[in-house]
Chains A and B, each alone.
Chain A
Amino acid sequence: MKALLVAEYRDGQLLGSYQELIGFARQLGADCSMFLVGSGSALPAFEGTLYLADAAQVGDYNPDVHKQLLLSVIEQEQPDYIVFLHSSYGWDLAPRVACSLKASQISEVVEIKDGTMVVPVCNAKLRRQVTPNTQVTVLTLQAGAFGLAEPPTGSPEVKEVSTDAVGPITFTGYEAAEAGGVDLSKSEVIVSAGRGVGKPENVSIIEDLASALGGDYGASRPVVDSEWVEHNRQVGTTGQTVAPKLYVACGISGAIQHLAGMKKSEFIVAVNTDKDAPIGEVADVLVVADLKQFIPALTEKIKGG
């Protein structure tokens, strides 16, 4: 069984997530080769063939160019699996490759069970075991689902690949994340507001508890998208990654993107009306209650000593 792993490189950096691809291939028991549009000066540690396209020549991510490069490598390599991360890159590129290959794509694999792939359903409340009907299968892996105990070692045998493909989409530049202001990574206590706060006026309930605990307040994505809390307080994949002594998640269901930003907190309290919310997976204590009643009561007790 052969797996072609698709590593990622952005803005001059090889992304460390390539190690998760190797971790997955080991669990699957597959021989692996790797594909990277990157640089010879930032090679992944790995024993095997690395098909390398020079990012300096190819330019920043262009779906059609990367697709053509990858298809030419697949043609040579004839893998059974083509494995991406379930990232903005994998999201974009994997279905294009699957479509060209007439292959099945299984998205956001979290586990291999009896040799088949398991993916989350309904915001991770359920799991689904999926079997492909095609010879070749394209996979995307959930970030963090397949790690390695030790970083991989070795140096790959590099085979250079290139293309003169162009596509209809033109990349014009990157825009940095909104400049900070609030660095939550230094906070010892963070109280975060999720969709469960219900309306912008209720954010003050969260701020009051944060202040009573001598900490800062944060928010999950939907609250930031609704502009109830500014983006520089967002915790999660597209915001900040935090690990305070205490994290209180208020009305946050626990989407994987949020969990990725806070699950390393020392002690996690979740307050949610839904006892089955995925936030319960990482919480040390889950308080099943309406935050609008519970948080003010808690704030009073803490202030009262």
Chain B
Amino acid sequence: MKILVCIKQVPDMESKFKVDAAGTWYDNADLAWRMNEYDEYAVEQAVQLKEQAGEGDITVLSIGPDKVKEAMKKALAMGCDRGVHVSDDAVSSKEPYQIASIIAAFAGDKGFDVIFTGLQSQDRGSGQVGVLVGELLGLPSVTTVVDFNMEGDSVTAKRELEGGIRAVVKVATPALFTCQLGLNTPRYPTLPNIMKAKKKELLTIPVADLLDVDPRQQTAALFFPEKKGGGLVLEGEVGDLADQLVQILKEKTTVLS
């Protein structure tokens, strides 16, 4: 069984963001980077699928500058077998259709049985790439997956709908799945597996070899939202803060009376 899992490296969302010089994306300097949270579930599901099947070969793919190899190494240490790094220093200016086209161009003749992606990225958050890859490859895609079970070439997946309701669907492979939070519990790579991952194949392909389409949209501007409301911000020593808050709760609410 051939499995592809697509991952993205994103900044830690608690970072202090700045707008870049062009005014169209965040400044990449001074950020801590990690694997997109949704993609961790995708990697874990790929590894679990291989473990359950007792066989399989997992390719992890990521697009971006050299530093995305850090996220790929984590995926390899979690259990992916090989990495494909699509080298692109300008990845942040690529829109979802271009990203999907790059992945589809790579995957087109590889015969993957199962493809996993995250539901969305934490930074751009378009939620489009997985479905677009499926459409471009002519494969069925199942989104917002919170439960995955494969028997033979048939997958039963649960899709998360609003209000915690789940829709149960069946599909035959080859197929693509976009992973929602809570699908599984992503493992932490162990030290021996981190060491082993260093010896795994990590192929680099220049993005120009795979990208053959023009962007369908562009970013006109990136900016900070206007602060609405104007809630009170309290900072200082913990004991003082607790006193201040108790006073506020006494004045503004009835819960302490």
Contact = CB atoms under 8 A, between A and B. Distances in A.
A251 to B, nearest CB: 11
B191 interface: no
Interface in A216-275: 221-222, 224-227, 231, 234, 237-239, 245-246, 253, 266-270, 273-275
Contacts, number: 252
Interface in B142-190: 142-144, 156, 158-172, 175, 181-182, 185
A199 interface: no
B238 A293 contact: yes
Interface residues of A, number: 100
A287 B161 contact: no
B55 interface: no
B16 A276 contact: yes
Nearest to B154: A170
A133 B214 contact: yes
Contacts of B54: none
A60 interface: yes
Interface stretch (A34-42, A43-51, A297-305): A297-305
A98 B13 contact: no
A177 B223 contact: no
B160 A238 contact: yes
30 contacts: A63-B141, A92-B131, A92-B159, A95-B127, A95-B128, A100-B135, A104-B97, A108-B126, A121-B124, A121-B222, A122-B11, A126-B224, A130-B219, A133-B218, A169-B140, A169-B171, A177-B164, A188-B255, A222-B181, A238-B160, A276-B16, A281-B225, A284-B252, A285-B231, A285-B232, A293-B238, A294-B238, A298-B242, A298-B246, A301-B242
Interface of B: 11, 13-14, 16-17, 19, 26, 95-97, 119, 122-128, 131-132, 135-136, 140-144, 156, 158-172, 175, 181-182, 185, 214-225, 227-229, 231-235, 238-239, 241-243, 245-246, 248-249, 252-256
